[in-house]
Amino acid sequence: MLDRRSLRADLSFDEAGGDSLRLLRFIFDLERHCRIGLPLAPFSTEQRPSEMARALDRCLHGMADDTDETAPILFLLPAIGGDDPRLVQLRALCRPALRPELVKLGDWPELLEPGFDIPKLAARLAGRIAARAPTGPLLLAGWSYGGFLAVTVAAALRQAGREVAFVGILDTTASPTSLIDLAPQRRPTRMENLRQVPAWIRKGQLKARLADFIVTRVVKRPRQVRLMVRLRRIWLPFGFGFHLNWSMGLRLRRDMLAEWRRRKEPPPPVPVSAIVMFRAAETVPDVPDERGWGAAYPGLRVVPVTGGHTTMLEPPHLETLCERLTEAALHAVQAASRAVENVR
């Protein structure tokens, strides 16, 4: 994780060259290897490897029995930047009633394939989901951009003949009818960025900000993008390669979404009874409760939750969101089971 061949000294994570973002990567990898959702609280950058090992052991001892292999899988699509520590907590809190599994958006070089767009991305993700759960009704949910993508993936699954019992939209800020962000953000000026440099250094964010500057302001031509593809295979010191790849993936996914919006394609057809919008109470002024999705899906059900677009995934609001998300998903599973029994 720290781009070193060995780490013999029992140094703390930050003393060995780690930062908060790389700590998140570390926890995500632990999740994948242990096949269990992990809380963030037991881990910190001040811990030594031996202390992290004990923290992981406590988590596994306290959470392993909560894993129910018979629980329905909830496929969770992240925001446009990929996995997030808030989603790690959400996955942990939704167990054991559900088995939330993150659907990774894929590595960014595949976005450079000729003609690759949102429908092709949705079809590729639908294939991964169908392979993971080859039978039975499917449950999908997504936060922010992931909510918009969950509906598109659900349509691809339906087109492939799979039943989608539930689609949960966790407060996406994009409307499928206007295809315009409901909460656009202004890009800071160069002078505003310069004033923030001391704060970035103090918070350990300088590498991430520098990578974002390179990707958004410097890499403009196809030749430069091809150079980025080569650079991603090269080890870069101080973990800069991770930040560079993260920023490049974010930029390309944003560009792909903007292109799809310019085409003004109609929203994909999905059974309206399966779609639930979990709307944050702290919303943007003059924005409808259903975030603009009501025109495309008149039967959309809106479930209010506390917090804002981001804070809804943070305590104490996260507990309420997980409770209502789990209740809606399990209700959809029961409805699908009753439908199958009636057909028989």
Segment 108-128, tens digit of pLDDT:
888 888 888 999 999 999 999
pLDDT at 95 over 50: yes
The pLDDT, as a whole number, for residue 211 is 81
Instruction: Please give the average per-residue pLDDT across 131-156, as a whole number.
Output: 93
Our CA angle for 16, 22, 26, nearest 5°, is: 95
Domain boundary among 31, 46, 67: 67
Question: What b-and-e string marks burial along 134-143, b requiring 16 or more CB atoms within 10 Å of the CB?
Answer: eeebbbbbbb
Evaluate whether residue 2 is within a structural domain: no
Length of the chain measured in residues: 344
193 versus 43: the higher-pLDDT residue is 43
Domain boundary among 42, 67, 92: 67
Burial class (CB in 10 A: 0-12, 13-18, 19+), 297: buried
User: Do 84 and 232 reside in the same domain of the chain?
Assistant: no
User: Do 55 and 92 reside in the same domain of the chain?
Assistant: no
pLDDT, mean over the chain: 82
User: Do 213 and 278 reside in the same domain of the chain?
Assistant: no
State the CATH number of the domain containing residue 331.
3.40.50.1820
User: Do 238 and 108 reside in the same domain of the chain?
Assistant: no
pLDDT at 197 over 80: no
User: Do 249 and 228 reside in the same domain of the chain?
Assistant: yes
User: Do 174 and 300 reside in the same domain of the chain?
Assistant: yes
Instruction: Please give the average per-residue pLDDT across 308-318, as a whole number.
Output: 89
User: Do 268 and 333 reside in the same domain of the chain?
Assistant: yes
User: Do 309 and 323 reside in the same domain of the chain?
Assistant: yes
Instruction: Please give the average per-residue pLDDT across 211-222, as a whole number.
Output: 79
User: Do 274 and 256 reside in the same domain of the chain?
Assistant: no
pLDDT at 79 over 80: yes
Note the pLDDT tens digit of each residue in 164-184.
999 999 988 666 555 444 444
Note the pLDDT tens digit of each residue in 28-47.
888 777 767 777 778 888 88
pLDDT at 284 over 70: no
User: Do 57 and 80 reside in the same domain of the chain?
Assistant: no
Evaluate whether residue 184 is within a structural domain: no
* Placement of tokens 């894929």 in the chain: 106
Which residue range is the domain that position 61 belongs to? Answer: 10-67
Q: How many domains does the chain have?
A: 3
The pLDDT, as a whole number, for residue 179 is 43
Instruction: Please give the average per-residue pLDDT across 287-310, as a whole number.
Output: 83
User: Do 158 and 268 reside in the same domain of the chain?
Assistant: yes
Domain boundary among 67, 92, 111: 67
Q: How far apart are CA 242 and CA 295, in angstroms?
A: 40
Is residue 325 within 8 Å of 277, Cβ to Cβ?
A: no
User: Do 196 and 332 reside in the same domain of the chain?
Assistant: no
